[in-house]
Structure 1
Amino acid sequence: MFSAHGPSLRELTVQALSSVERGYDLLAPKFDHTPFRTPEGILEATAEALDEYGPFGDGLDVCCGTGAGLLVARAMCTGSITGVDFSSGMIGQARRAYPDANFVRADVRAMPFREGFDLAVSFGAFGHFLPEERPALFEGVYRALRPGGLFAFAISDPPPVTTLAHWVLLGFDGVMRVRNAVWKPPFVMYYRTTPIAAMTKDLQAAGFTVTTEPLDAMGHRRDGTPHFWLALARK
């Protein structure tokens, strides 16, 4: 499915009926051949926008997966780069791709870092956290950063109700809620639980000063608003 090197429909079904951790362990060897990997365009646009704020010292990729965000951290940081994720399978793939990076297997809702990084990034992970779990995640990132450190990530508002994308994402989230109501363990992945306003509120509650700027390189909607924003949370 997706490509000759991607997972089959059967493999995706088994993954979807697993826990988040087990599902990603299973998907890890073929993850980079799926649309779930953060597109290069978003990574490049984020690195380009961050260039005016750097360079940074040590960098952290939160929920690193197979390491797509480490490309941005490596480009922006002059010191070490570290990836943290709770899937041993994903970390194994990332370690092979980035042998010069450090990796820590941990639940990012309880990260074991304290003032060790100047830049933290994250890509494509926030849908795996329920809204009530975000405070612990953001508080952990805040602790991990040195004073003046920056937490940066690309984010988009939900598509307008008049678009097909709105209904596709609404339908996906609905299916996931039904799946989690009738099947255990749950697989948390929702596309409509991370609006910019709610994310900003949670970041501010964790202690961050938050600004956003458009990622113009990713284009704009018909109403002129950008498809993606860059959130900049400063400690």
Structure 2
Amino acid sequence: MFTSQGPSLRELAVQALSSVERGYDLLAPKFDHTPFRTPDRVLDAVEETLARYEGSFGSGLDLCCGTGAGIGMLRRLCRERVTGVDLSAGMLAEAERVYGDGGGGGDGGTGDTAGRVGFVRADARALPAALDDTYDLAVSFGAFGHFLPAERPALFSGVHRVLRAGGVFAFPIGAPLAPASPLWWMVAGFDAAMRVRNAVWRPPFVMYYRTFPLGGVRADLRAAGFTVETVPLEQFGRRPDGSPRWRLVLARKGHREESREDSREDSRQGSHPA
């Protein structure tokens, strides 16, 4: 499916009837040949925007790194070590195959590329204490649909804990879809199907597209101790009302200045929370 190298419909069905961890273990060898991998266009836009507004960083963490799409970006932005964290051993194995040197990984060892890249198998809602106060930048791409809204406080608190003072948690977030758009109906239908699946089948496979609105996310980040601002990802243009189609959320551990929330939004427009 998707390409000749991608998973078949049967393989996707088996994945969908598995747990999140087991499903991604099964999908891992073909994951990069599906549309589920974070597009390079998104990675490039985030890298460019972080470099412009924040400059370089010390160490970096890719939360829910999957097969490692964000690792290359972090290696360019960070001067020190880079770590990928994921729950799926299969996805980590693929990431290590590309970015590691066979020096371990899985349950907490590290593989290296130029001695800087390592991988840790862990649940993002319960990050190991060994990672505390270690990173200057944390990023995550395409993983938040796997967390229910009630799980966000634990997720964000863990990221806050592993960041050093002044560290940044950065991730892209899209503008809300218009209910009249075909894409809105597609994702609404997908979410509804997943809710039915999880009501009648065990283990659950948590994956929803409409459970990560900017307003609620901002509130949960603040509750976890972050100061929050957003910057437009201008590479994706703007909606007819002038608001960005995509934003980069910058959640900082500690204050850089007293009040800068959304200070970098285009002055022509107010903030339009999702």
TM range (shorter): over 0.9
Instruction: Tell me, yes or no, if structure 1 residue 75 matches structure 2 residue 76.
Output: yes
Contact 2:170 2:250 in 1 (8 A): yes
For 2:248, the aligned partner's letter is L
Contact 2:3 2:34 in 1 (8 A): yes
TM-superposed deviation, 1:219: 2.3
Q: Secondary structure at the match of 1:108?
A: coil
Partner of 1:128: 146
Partner of 1:178: 196
Partner of 2:213: 195
Instruction: Work out the CA distance in 2 between the residues paired with 1:82 and 1:125.
Output: 16
Candidates 205, 210, 214, aligned match of 2:232: 214
Instruction: Work out the CA distance in 2 between the residues paired with 1:21 and 1:105.
Output: 11
> TM-score by structure 1 length?
0.98
For 1:78, the aligned partner's letter is R
Partner of 1:169: 187
Instruction: Please identify, of 42-51 and 66-75, the stretch whose mean Cα deviation from structure 2 is larger.
Output: 66-75
Tell me which of the two structures has the higher relative contact order, counting C-alpha pairs closer than 8 angstroms and 6 or more residues apart: 1
Partner of 2:177: 159
Q: Map 1:2-21; keep pairs closer than 5 Å.
A: 2-21=2-21
Instruction: Work out the CA distance in 1 between the residues paired with 2:38 and 2:240.
Output: 23
Q: Secondary structure at the match of 2:249?
A: strand
Q: What do the CA deviations read for 1:63-120 (whole angstroms, capped 9, x no partner)?
A: 0000011122112100010000000000000001111210000011000120000000
Partner of 2:121: 105
Instruction: Work out the CA distance in 2 between the residues paired with 1:23 and 1:63.
Output: 14
Structure with greater Cα Rg: 2
> TM-score by structure 2 length?
0.84
Q: CA RMSD in A?
A: 0.8
Structure richer in helix, relative to its length: 1
Contact 1:208 1:234 in 2 (8 A): yes
Q: What do the CA deviations read for 1:39-68 (whole angstroms, capped 9, x no partner)?
A: 111000000000030210000000000001
Displacement over 6 Å in runs of 4+:
none
Instruction: Work out the CA distance in 2 between the residues paired with 1:57 and 1:152.
Output: 15
Instruction: Please identify, of 220-229 and 171-180, the stretch whose mean Cα deviation from structure 2 is larger.
Output: 220-229
The alignment of Structure 1 onto Structure 2 pairs a total of residues equal to 235
For 1:23, the aligned partner's letter is G
Instruction: Work out the CA distance in 2 between the residues paired with 1:137 and 1:20.
Output: 16
Instruction: Work out the CA distance in 1 between the residues paired with 2:204 and 2:64.
Output: 18
Q: What do the CA deviations read for 1:182-217 (whole angstroms, capped 9, x no partner)?
A: 000000000000011111111100000000111010
Unpaired segments of 5 or more residues in structure 1?
none
For 2:73, the aligned partner's letter is V
TM-superposed deviation, 1:221: 2.7
Partner of 1:26: 26
Contact 1:41 1:218 in 2 (8 A): no
Instruction: Work out the CA distance in 2 between the residues paired with 1:222 and 1:135.
Output: 33
Contact 1:82 1:104 in 2 (8 A): yes
Contact 2:75 2:82 in 1 (8 A): yes
For 1:14, the aligned partner's letter is V
Instruction: Work out the CA distance in 2 between the residues paired with 1:64 and 1:102.
Output: 11
Contact 1:58 1:79 in 2 (8 A): yes
Q: Map 1:53-92; keep pairs closer than 5 Å.
A: 53-92=54-93
Contact 1:24 1:87 in 2 (8 A): yes
Instruction: Tell me, yes or no, if structure 1 residue 143 matches structure 2 residue 161.
Output: yes
Q: Secondary structure at the match of 1:167?
A: helix
Seq. identity, % = 63
